[in-house]
């Protein structure tokens, strides 16, 4: 799995904003284009569910408190076709997530890119904002 | 073994899928060369074209608007798929233009039946993802993966008439026949609840769709659909694009499993007092 994951990272990294893979609802309706967000945190779990997968990340604020973030990813089948597996982002993995905030929830976002500490970048399957 | 093979192909599939939007021009320039190397139309025992297999619609961006549109926030660009009228514009009645504008507001995102995982109707089912075509005797069957969960169309080829007018269906009632090598399918009896895409383009229960599936080689089907809907449009209009064979296969999409988006969209709608 690790070997195939490395290959997947390499491939997806090349085309990290190439194709949206899940769009059963309006992205612009649910997320705010005026609220881009970048967080650094640690994976607590990944929910491999339909119609979207969800990534849960704990983020420590400057005062030491922990905020529990939820990031929507693309649809499971689309992520699978791009090489993702539900075991890929294990709890405890440090990462940076770039995305856009929900219009309704302060700790919910749509993930656009996920960067690992070694610089590898994952495309998370959402429609590409412009 | 099947799983292993599928996984071994994934990195390559990702590369090919990612390259599709950027290689269109190159592919078009090489059409004549590719055509010479492509196997001819497959045929069933009775001589009719064999359309079976997994096909992907070559209609990127159609689920975000059938007319030509540029990329916007969360909206991939679309080159436009309307071949009639010649201007590429939907011939909407005035009320429909206003309704379409309303549907793109954030608080209307909840109203798109696709957000609820309902079937996509036509022609939306034909451009929101790959599908499997089967041809049991006397029928053509489409199995959709889509973004809204599994759905299907079972098209009888025995000349039967449509369901009574009082019957209204998400996917409509289809009847097909062959005209030479072209499969012609007429679909009526829609429920009028579906949207054509996230741009809020409209159809009503009076929608009638006539589709023409014309195989040009073993791996390509030219697809055309003509939509008539006197409640919404001032005249019939048509879209066209190709369907290309893929070695992919259907994957499960249990869309209602964990549809958190719907709750978010409902909050947005309620916040606007609608």
pLDDT at B33: 53
Phi, psi values for residue B230, rounded to 5°: -70, -15
Chain A residues within 8 A of B18 when measuring between CB atoms: 14-15, 18-19
- Quick check: A18 and B147 CB within 8 A? no
The owner of tokens 């159609």 is B62
Chain B residues within 8 A of A25 when measuring between CB atoms: 109, 112, 114-115, 198, 261-262, 265
- Quick check: A24 and B75 CB within 8 A? no
A18 near B77, Cβ under 8 Å?
no
**B183 lies in which domain range?**
45-271
| Residue B156 pLDDT class (50, 70, 90 cuts) | very high
With respect to residue B34, please indicate whether it lies within any of the assigned structural domains: no
Asked if B50 is an interface residue toward chain A (Cβ–Cβ < 8 A), one would say no
In this predicted structure, the answer to whether residue B15 has a pLDDT above a threshold of 50 is no
DSSP B64-130: G-SS-B--BTTB--B---EEESTT----B-HHHHHHHHHHTSGGGGGG-GGGGT----TTGGGSSS-
B207 near B229, Cβ under 8 Å?
yes
Sign of CA dihedral B122, B126, B129, B130: positive
**A46 lies in which domain range?**
2-15+31-123
With respect to residue B117, please indicate whether it lies within any of the assigned structural domains: yes
The answer for residues whose C-beta is within 8 angstroms of residue B115's C-beta and 6 or more apart is A24, A25, A26, B109, B259, B261, B262, B265
Q: Please give the tally of structural domains in chain B.
A: 1
More confident call, B22 vs A28: A28
B131 near B70, Cβ under 8 Å?
no
Q: State the Cα–Cα distance between residues B176 and B146, nearest whole angstrom.
A: 22
With respect to residue A23, please indicate whether it lies within any of the assigned structural domains: no
E strands, chain B, are: 53-57, 82-84, 131-134, 139-144, 151-156, 173-179, 182-188, 208-217, 220-228, 237-246
E strands, A48-116, are: 54-60, 66-72, 94-102, 108-115
Q: What is the mean pLDDT of residues B33-53?
A: 87
- Quick check: B253 and A18 CB within 8 A? no
More confident call, B212 vs A24: B212
In this predicted structure, the answer to whether residue A15 has a pLDDT above a threshold of 60 is no
Q: What is the mean pLDDT of residues B94-107?
A: 95
More confident call, B78 vs B11: B78
More confident call, B212 vs A2: B212
Phi, psi values for residue B178, rounded to 5°: -95, 135
pLDDT at B16: 31
| Residue A128 pLDDT class (50, 70, 90 cuts) | low
In this predicted structure, the answer to whether residue A23 has a pLDDT above a threshold of 80 is no
With respect to residue B14, please indicate whether it lies within any of the assigned structural domains: no
Q: State the Cα–Cα distance between residues A129 and B271, nearest whole angstrom.
A: 24
Q: What is the mean pLDDT of residues B244-269?
A: 89
With respect to residue B21, please indicate whether it lies within any of the assigned structural domains: no
Q: Please give the tally of structural domains in chain A.
A: 1
pLDDT at B13: 34
More confident call, B62 vs B264: B62
The answer for residues whose C-beta is within 8 angstroms of residue B138's C-beta and 6 or more apart is B156, B157, B158
Q: State the Cα–Cα distance between residues A123 and A16, nearest whole angstrom.
A: 5
What is the rounded average pLDDT for all residues in chain B?
Answer: 87
3-state helix vs strand vs coil in chain B, percent to 5? 25, 30, 45
pLDDT at B193: 97
Long-range contacts of A88-94 (CB under 8 A, 24+ apart): A88/A1, A88/A5, A88/A8, A88/A46, A89/A43, A89/A46, A89/A55, A89/A114, A90/A43, A91/A42, A91/A43, A91/A44, A91/A45, A92/A42, A92/A43, A93/A42, A93/A43, A94/A40, A94/A41, A94/A42, A94/A43
In this prediction, what percent of chain A has a pLDDT beyond 90?
39
The CA distance from B129 to the nearest CA of chain A, in Å, is 9
* ipTM of model over 0.90: no
The CA distance from A67 to the nearest CA of chain B, in Å, is 19
pLDDT at B6: 36
Residue of A nearest to B254 (CA): A50
With respect to residue A24, please indicate whether it lies within any of the assigned structural domains: no
Q: State the Cα–Cα distance between residues A10 and B14, nearest whole angstrom.
A: 11
With respect to residue B207, please indicate whether it lies within any of the assigned structural domains: yes
With respect to residue A58, please indicate whether it lies within any of the assigned structural domains: yes
pLDDT tens-digit series, residues A106-123: 999 999 889 988 888 877
Angle at A59 between CA A119 and CA A5, to 5 degrees: 35
pLDDT tens-digit series, residues B173-213: 999 999 999 999 999 999 999 999 999 999 999 999 999 99
Q: State the Cα–Cα distance between residues B64 and B80, nearest whole angstrom.
A: 10
Beta bridge pairs of residue A94: A42
For residue A75, give the CATH number of its domain: 2.40.50.140
Asked if B264 is an interface residue toward chain A (Cβ–Cβ < 8 A), one would say yes
Rg (CA), chain B: 19
In this predicted structure, the answer to whether residue A99 has a pLDDT above a threshold of 70 is yes
Q: State the Cα–Cα distance between residues B243 and A74, nearest whole angstrom.
A: 23
A9-23, A90-104, B65-79, B126-140: segment of lowest average pLDDT: A9-23
More confident call, B257 vs B52: B52
pLDDT at A82: 81
pLDDT tens-digit series, residues B116-139: 999 999 999 999 999 999 999 999
Q: What is the mean pLDDT of residues B24-38?
A: 51
With respect to residue B28, please indicate whether it lies within any of the assigned structural domains: no
pLDDT tens-digit series, residues B210-241: 999 999 999 999 999 999 999 999 999 999 99
3-state helix vs strand vs coil in chain A, percent to 5? 20, 40, 45
| Residue B274 pLDDT class (50, 70, 90 cuts) | low
Beta bridge pairs of residue B182: B179
In this predicted structure, the answer to whether residue A21 has a pLDDT above a threshold of 90 is no
With respect to residue A75, please indicate whether it lies within any of the assigned structural domains: yes
- Nearest CB among B10, B21, B148 relative to A81 is that of B10
What is the rounded average pLDDT for all residues in chain A?
Answer: 79
pLDDT at B63: 94
With respect to residue A26, please indicate whether it lies within any of the assigned structural domains: no
């Amino acid at each position: 799995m690790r070997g195939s994951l490395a290959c997947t990272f390499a491939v997806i990294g090349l085309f990290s904003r190439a194709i949206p893979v899940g769009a059963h609802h309006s992205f612009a309706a649910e997320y705010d284009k005026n609220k881009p967000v970048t967080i650094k945190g640690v994976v607590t779990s990944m929910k491999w569910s339909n119609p979207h997968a969800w990534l849960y990340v704990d983020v420590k604020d400057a005062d030491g408190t922990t905020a529990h973030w939820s990031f929507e990813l693309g649809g499971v089948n689309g992520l699978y076709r791009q090489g993702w597996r539900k075991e890929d982002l294990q709890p405890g993995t440090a990462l940076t997530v770039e995305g856009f905030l929900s219009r309704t929830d302060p700790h919910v976002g749509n993930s656009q890119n996920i960067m690992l500490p070694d610089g590898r970048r994952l495309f998370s399957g959402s429609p590409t904002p412009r | 073994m099947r799983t292993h093979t599928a996984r071994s192909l994934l990195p390559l599939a990702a590369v090919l899928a990612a390259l599709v939007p950027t290689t269109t021009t190159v592919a078009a320039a090489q059409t004549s060369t590719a055509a010479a190397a492509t196997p001819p139309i497959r045929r069933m025992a009775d001589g009719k074209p064999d359309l079976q297999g997994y096909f992907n619609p070559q209609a990127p961006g159609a689920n975000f608007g059938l007319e030509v549109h540029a990329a916007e926030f969360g909206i991939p660009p679309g080159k436009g798929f309307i071949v009639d009228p010649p201007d590429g514009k939907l011939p909407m009645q005035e009320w429909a233009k206003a309704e379409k504008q309303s549907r793109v507001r954030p608080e209307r995102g909840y109203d798109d039946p696709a957000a609820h995982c309902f079937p996509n109707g036509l022609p939306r089912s034909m451009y929101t993802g790959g599908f499997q075509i089967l041809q049991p005797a006397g029928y053509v069957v489409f199995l959709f993966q889509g973004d809204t969960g599994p759905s299907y169309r079972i098209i009888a080829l025995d000349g039967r008439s449509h369901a009574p007018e009082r019957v209204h269906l998400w996917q409509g009632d289809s009847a097909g026949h062959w005209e030479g090598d072209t499969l012609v399918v007429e679909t009526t009896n829609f429920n009028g609840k579906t949207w054509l895409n996230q741009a809020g383009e409209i159809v009503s229960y009076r929608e009638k769709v006539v589709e023409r599936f014309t195989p040009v080689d073993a791996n390509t089907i030219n697809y055309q659909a003509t939509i008539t809907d006197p409640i919404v449009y001032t005249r019939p209009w048509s879209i066209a694009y190709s369907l290309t064979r893929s070695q992919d296969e259907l994957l499960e999409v249990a869309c209602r499993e964990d549809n958190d988006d719907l709750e978010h969209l409902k909050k947005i709608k309620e916040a606007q007092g609608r």
